[in-house]
Structure 1
Amino acid sequence: MSKSLLAGLALAMMLAGCASTPAPAPTPMVDTDAIDRIFSNVPVIDDPAPARRYSPAQGAALERRSGYRVDHSVSSPGQNQRIRFLVLHYTGGDDTAAFRALTGNNVSAHYLVTAAPGEYQNQPVVMQLVDENRRAWHAGVSSWGDRINLNDTSIGIEIVNRGHYPSPDGMVWDPYSRAQIELVTALARDIVDRYHIAPENVLGHSDIAPGRKVDPGPFFPWQRLYEAGVGAWPERHVVTRYQRELSASPLSMAQLQRALGLWGYPVSVTGTYDEPTRKALGAFQMHFRPADTHGNVDVESQAILLALLERYHGLADVRAVHQ
């Protein structure tokens, strides 16, 4: 047989193979009994004993819900408060702007302290916009310590205040009124007492979102709030002691970052003066040393930070800073 004939036969066989109908795929086997078992009713036994019958007096204490009642007579100790933080803000505008923003669809707060709070029977009146058992949208992207998204675990108080704005003399901050601070103090003290909020967890928006937020600003009187029993503040003699120590041997950048992180700020220990460190230090200064809030490293800020750690966290945290 010639080579050309052989080549032709080989090509014909190849073409015939490509054009042939493929073998049908095997039909999958379905276990219909298994499907029946999935959709069949599971067994339900008859009640082994008659239902407890509540007396009229007992029934009066039950909570009525849709189609059933709730007995609250037994409580489990395995629980804690949802609320762990109190966060203070300013609105950045007047009453009208505050009500418009806080009753819209994007931002809210549990309480609003207006520019001139009302009074009834010689007591100031605060506006409550969200029930405390509901989640208000006041914190945004936020963190403190090991917690993130503080809307979930906080109560937010907004105070009507313009905040900061430019003027011919440079950037100007608005002070708060005496009536506003008296109302904030009474409200905050009540919230802290009812929820047992730790002093170091009474925070400004700037603390939980450093660099992104600056409220309630340098004119908020944190020390006055502390003197009324709300929030954290360092002891002067302890600050003085640390200032003497740090004047001779200030914290390294890594130690400062570790201290800021232990207090609660979201700072990584990099050993370099990076932007997160500057923002966190500026927020710390806004809260505890508002005379200079640029985030510059100085002995006074370091001394205040160590004094706070010693007072509220203990000496173990101070030792951890120096590791």
Structure 2
Amino acid sequence: MKRRHFLQGSLASLALAGLPLYWFNRWDYLTIHHSAGASGDLALLRRVHRQRQAGDPVNEVPYHFLVGNGEGIETGAVVPSERWSLRLWGAHVSARNPDRNFRSIGICLIGNFQNAAPSADQYDATIALCRDLMRRFDIAAERVTLHGETPGEATLCPGKLFPRSEFFKDIGRT
């Protein structure tokens, strides 16, 4: 209940301050992740998030979008989270990066790319989602990062088998 009141109060304060236009168009970055688990869906990732980040006032996955691998979410299906529906900040990078959590759209591909690469359908859906968000919010390709390559982060995410070079080429980053 406390979380709901916090969110309602926060959104009401922003509306009164005249910030809705900024709030819904503040996105400057995309950050790509993998779930590091072979399967998953919104419910599973929500439970994991609650266990790992109990202090987050948002009872939702830390990402804005999930891209399925056929193990919990259909292969290549893009599922928006409540964070996206309400345009809330993410919780997908560390606390060392509050600005990146606030202004970056978190995209999580279901799977562990330390063990296997994403399927072609999952990869293609991710590219299409990135291109659409980049176009809609005028996000430059240089502002699209992999979680582990985001300044201030120390992780292998999205894994050694994520096709990094191909990904950046396909979104237009040289």
Bin the TM-score by the shorter chain: 0.5 to 0.7
Q: Does 1:125 align with 2:77?
A: yes
The secondary structure found in structure 2 opposite 1:224 is: helix
**Aligned match of 2:88:** 134
Provide the C-alpha distance between the structure 2 equivalents of 1:98 and 1:209, rounded to a whole number of angstroms: 27
Gaps of 5+ in 2: 1-11, 13-20, 54-60
Size of the aligned set, in residue pairs, is 143
Provide the C-alpha distance between the structure 2 equivalents of 1:162 and 1:207, rounded to a whole number of angstroms: 17
**Aligned match of 1:112:** 66
Provide the C-alpha distance between the structure 1 equivalents of 2:152 and 2:146, rounded to a whole number of angstroms: 10
Letter matched to residue 118 of structure 1: E
**Aligned match of 1:203:** 145
Once the two structures are TM-superposed, the CA of residue 151 in structure 1 deviates from its matched residue by 0.7
Provide the C-alpha distance between the structure 1 equivalents of 2:135 and 2:148, rounded to a whole number of angstroms: 23
Q: Describe how 1:5-16 pairs up with structure 2 within 5 A.
A: none
What is the TM-score with the length of structure 1 in the denominator? 0.39
What is the TM-score with the length of structure 2 in the denominator? 0.67
Provide the C-alpha distance between the structure 2 equivalents of 1:198 and 1:180, rounded to a whole number of angstroms: 22
**Aligned match of 2:135:** 193
Q: Describe how 1:210-249 pairs up with structure 2 within 5 A.
A: 212-228=154-170, 230=171, 232-233=173-174
Gaps of 5+ in 1: 1-65, 67-75, 165-172, 234-323
Provide the C-alpha distance between the structure 2 equivalents of 1:209 and 1:97, rounded to a whole number of angstroms: 28
Q: Describe how 1:80-159 pairs up with structure 2 within 5 A.
A: 81-96=25-40, 99-103=43-47, 104-105=49-50, 106=53, 107-116=61-70, 118=74, 124-129=76-81, 130-131=83-84, 133-143=87-97, 148-159=98-109
Q: Which of 110, 124, 145 is residue 160 of structure 1 equivalent to?
A: 110
The secondary structure found in structure 1 opposite 2:30 is: strand
The secondary structure found in structure 2 opposite 1:88 is: strand
User: Rg bigger for which structure?
Assistant: 1
Larger relative contact order, structure 1 or 2 (CA cutoff 8 Å, min sep 6): 2
Kept in 1: contact 2:112–2:159 (CA 8 A): no
The secondary structure found in structure 2 opposite 1:213 is: coil
Kept in 2: contact 1:89–1:205 (CA 8 A): yes
**Aligned match of 1:73:** none
Change (3 A) 1:82 1:97: closer
**Aligned match of 2:4:** none
